[in-house]
Amino acid sequence: MTLIMDLDMNKTSVNTTLITPSGEPSVILDIILYVLLIIVMFSLGCTADEKNLRLNFKRPCGLLIGLCCQFGIMPLSTFLLAFLLKFKSSYAVAIIIVGCCPGGMASNMASYWVDGDMDLSLCMTVTSVLLSVIMMPLNLYIYSIPWTHIGTIIIPYKNLGFMLLFILIPVCFGIFTRRLIAKKAEIIVKVGFIVGTLTMIVFFGAVVINGQMWNISASVICAGFLSPCIGYSLGFLFARLSRQSWARCRTICLETGIQNAYTCAIFIELSFSGLIQQEMMSYVLIYIIASYGLASLVIEGHIIYKKCFKKHRSQLPVVNVEELQSFNAHDPLTEQSKPGMEE
């Protein structure tokens, strides 16, 4: 338990708040959350095709760029946002946790709708989940130091490590299941997506009903929208600078900007309690609204572009190949250019 003292410079008064990382949550609730997490992560593993994984590992340029954006750009950008906007500990740690999270199935769905490279998208998501066992605690430890070294908040790394190792097993088992029964794996993926979506609705419905959602400052809302914008923009920029195809650029853009908010929400639910938990979950809700909303705009823009491009191409004159060949056969310039026709 940690005692926090926030000094209000205007009122010259001291406000003390007790923060208890992992208070004493219900054992039944913990079991339910872990079961749901297993279902979602198992279905995520079922999205990975072993052949596609091997192909992306043999030509890892796009995969490496995406992972560098995932575990490099996003944690750093969220740290800078929290530091520059001078967030209180709960919001600062929440935004950094979101930035350190791996990818999820939402980015795969978005990549599908923008005609992205689905092999790369699925490979990035699964690989980032596997690497998150090391990269997420490491990034969280490095970037949360300004708020943890003075004891204002305690991050339970044991809970985080246990949860990440816990989700590693169903992901690997899902990859193996996909190899055995590829057709039924598609059904498992749909079930996992539905379970994850319903769980998120329950989580954040409780946040909205609680009322803490309506007490958030404008700077926190701004950060919630800036974070995915930075991820989308820099992910696309770095992919394009490395001369990736347009489809891969769109994929890396979405994979960088859409983090696995489901894993983040469960970690916060199991590791914090009271007002701190409510504030963290309210930020995660803002991030989800922003990232999904911006992704919807990207998808709509791509659909409109495709329709306009197809319409433009349909207006171009259609060239008949046979008529063109016939014209070339009787063209005097063409005949003069043939060998033996000079005389």
What are residue 18's DSSP bridge partners? 3
* Residue 212 confidence (pLDDT): 57
DSSP state, residue 4:
E
Q: What is the three-class DSSP state of 16? A: strand
Structure token digits, residue 153: 């908040």
Q: What is the mean pLDDT of residues 309-327?
A: 53
Most confident of the following: 85-89, 139-143, 164-168, 173-177? 139-143
Q: Does the pLDDT of residue 156 top 90, yes or no? A: no
pLDDT score for 329: 53
The predicted model scores a pTM of 0.76
Name beta bridge partners: 2: 19
Between helices 157-180 and 118-143, what is the axis angle to 10°?
170
What's the CATH number of domain 25-312, 3.50.30.30, 1.20.1530.20, 3.40.50.970, 3.40.50.10490? Answer: 1.20.1530.20
- Distance (Å, whole) CA 41 – CA 245: 29
Using DSSP, state whether 324 is helix, strand or coil.
helix
**Considering only CA atoms, which of 150, 144, 216 is closest in space to residue 5?**
150
Dump pLDDT digits (tens) for 62-102: 889 999 999 999 999 999 999 999 898 889 999 999 999 98
Q: Please indicate whether residue 234 or residue 190 has the higher confidence score (pLDDT).
A: 234
How many Cβ atoms sit within 10 Å of the Cβ of residue 298? Answer: 18
Residue pair 261/288 in contact (Cβ under 8 Å)? The answer is yes
What integer pLDDT is reported at residue 78 of this predicted model? Answer: 93
- Which amino acid is present at 270? L
pLDDT tens profile 7-59: 333 333 333 333 444 444 457 767 777 777 788 888 887 877 777 778 878 88
Q: What is the maximum alpha-carbon separation in the chain?
A: 106
